[in-house]
């Protein structure tokens, strides 16, 4: 059974999908079950992958800036606010690994997706 907001990736063609509605079926692409991308919160490379919040709405990826080149980059950054608003910014390989969401609401969590190292999440302490 899928859960809302889960991220799945096809290990054959690289398609990535986000679950918008809960379902009982299995997600399949290229004739194979898609892989659930687990949210990493600590692991090897965390200093370059865990999101960092600056000035209440600027999100930077990594205490040490994450590489941004054609072969290794942050594909997107997503925030969830205290009012459950979700905002997502897609990045290109030549962008900086950061974005100013320019919001007044408090951010409660941040996720980002690295094309090599997968899905990362940071929950803000209350």
Domains and CATH numbers, the chain: 7-37 (2.20.28.100), 46-123 (2.60.40.730)
Q: Is 7 exposed, middle or buried (0-12, 13-18, 19+ CB in 10 A)?
A: buried
Query: How confident is the model at residue 45, as a pLDDT?
Result: 64
Query: How confident is the model at residue 48, as a pLDDT?
Result: 83
Judged by average pLDDT, the poorest of 2-16, 49-63, 82-96 is 49-63
The model's pTM is 0.91
Q: Residues 40, 7: contact at Cβ < 8 Å?
A: no
Q: How far apart are CA 45 and CA 116, in angstroms?
A: 11
């Amino acid at each position: 059974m899928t859960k809302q907001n889960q991220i799945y990736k096809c290990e054959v063609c690289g398609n990535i999908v986000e679950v918008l509605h809960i379902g009982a079926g299995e997600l399949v692409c290229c004739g194979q079950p898609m892989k659930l991308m687990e949210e990493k919160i600590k692991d090897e490379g965390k200093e370059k992958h865990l999101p960092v919040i600056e000035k209440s709405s600027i999100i930077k990826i990594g205490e040490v800036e994450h590489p941004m080149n054609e072969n290794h980059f942050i594909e997107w950054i997503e925030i969830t606010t205290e009012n459950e608003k979700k905002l997502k910014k897609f990045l290109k390989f030549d962008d900086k690994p950061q974005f100013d969401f320019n919001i007044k609401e408090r951010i409660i969590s941040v996720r980002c997706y690295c094309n090599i190292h997968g899905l990362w999440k940071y929950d803000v302490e209350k």
